[in-house]
Amino acid sequence: MAAIYAAACRDPARRGKLDPPASALVALEVGKRKSRRARRRAGNRWLRKVARPLLRRYALSARLHLDVARTLHERADLAAQASKIYLAALALHDGGCKLTPRQFFALIVGASATLAARRKHAQALWLWQRARKLWPSSARVRYELARTLCAMGDTRRCFDELRDALDVGRLQRPPAFMRGLAGADQAPARILARVDKDRAFKRLRRLARYRRLRASPRYR
């Protein structure tokens, strides 16, 4: 359905009806101390009563789809629901209902995380490969691409991408919209510190070539 809507994004007559006012989306409040089942029920109730009517009314709004997906992802522990809405936002963006670069980056971050949680690593990999083409000077993008490859068990390509992330990180020339964005780009020492703690890189850390890379003065 999102692909059908996306074709209408190019129609100038509809441009004024794409996005709701900023106050339209009511926040999802889910208590942290509630059980996972209770949080899921609350999230589904919010999605049914608040978010879906808005998504139907503003069916061409990629930004609204993104906001709903991020709300579900961050507050309600509903990865499957969030993943579908992230992908609907992606279809709308590709159809002409464009997001800003920062919004599109947030979409890729969120969609890839929810896909990985559902073990759909190949789709997450496709998103990060697309991001690399868009933003080749981003160390964060290359780090996430390496992380996804390691999660898929491809340690050879994971190592290559991680080394590229470190080389890009040394230059400290992230895309303009990423400057000042928390966690968007990091120096090599910080990237390696994350690798040391990240379970996705467990196999990679066992390799001798990674230990040599880790010890190299080039990345200190």
Looking at 79, 97, 118, the residue that finishes a domain is: 118
**Is residue 145 within 8 Å of residue 125, measured between CB atoms?**
yes
Of 131, 121, 117, give the one whose Cα is nearest residue 184. 131
Distance of CA 165 to the CA centre of its chain: 17
Question: How far is 137 from 176, CA to CA, in rounded Å?
Answer: 10
Residue 3 has pLDDT above 70, yes or no: no
Of 60, 88, 83, 59, give the one whose Cα is nearest residue 73. 83
**Higher pLDDT among residues 174 and 200, named by residue:** 200
What is residue 64's three-state secondary structure?
helix
| The most confident of 6-15, 23-32, 44-53, by mean pLDDT | 44-53
Query: b/e map of 13-47 (b: 16 or more CB within 10 Å)?
Result: eeeeebbbeeeebeebebeeeeeeeebbebbeebb
Report the mean per-residue pLDDT for the chain.
87
Confidence of residue 21 (pLDDT cuts 50, 70, 90): confident
Kindly state the tokens that stand for 124.
């997450």
Question: How far is 176 from 135, CA to CA, in rounded Å?
Answer: 10
Residue 14 has pLDDT above 70, yes or no: no
pLDDT in tens, 51-65: 999 998 888 899 999
Residue 111 has pLDDT above 60, yes or no: yes
pTM: 0.88
* pLDDT for residue 70: 92
* pLDDT for residue 12: 61
* pLDDT for residue 185: 60
Tell me, yes or no, whether 135 and 124 share the same domain.
Answer: yes
**Is residue 20 within 8 Å of residue 54, measured between CB atoms?**
yes
Hey, what's the torsion of the CAs at 125, 131, 134, 139, to 10 degrees? -110
Residue 2 has pLDDT above 50, yes or no: no
Please state, for a pLDDT cut of 70, what percent of the chain lies above it: 90
Kindly state the tokens that stand for 153.
């068990």
Question: HSE on the CB side for 44, CA within 13 Å?
Answer: 7
CATH number at residue 202: 1.25.40
Tell me, yes or no, whether 162 and 81 share the same domain.
Answer: no
pLDDT in tens, 80-107: 899 999 999 999 999 888 899 999 999 9
* pLDDT for residue 1: 45
Looking at 85, 118, 151, the residue that finishes a domain is: 118
* pLDDT for residue 209: 95
* pLDDT for residue 155: 96
Contacts of 100 (CB under 8 A, 6+ apart): 177
Tell me, yes or no, whether 102 and 163 share the same domain.
Answer: no
pLDDT in tens, 124-155: 999 999 999 999 999 999 999 999 999 999 99
Tell me, yes or no, whether 89 and 114 share the same domain.
Answer: yes
Q: How many CB atoms lie under 10 A from the CB of residue 199? A: 8
Tell me, yes or no, whether 15 and 72 share the same domain.
Answer: yes
- Distances in Å between the alpha carbon of 213 and those of 166, 177, 208? 10, 30, 9
Kindly state the tokens that stand for 136.
């080749």
Structural domain span for residue 105: 1-118
Confidence of residue 216 (pLDDT cuts 50, 70, 90): very high
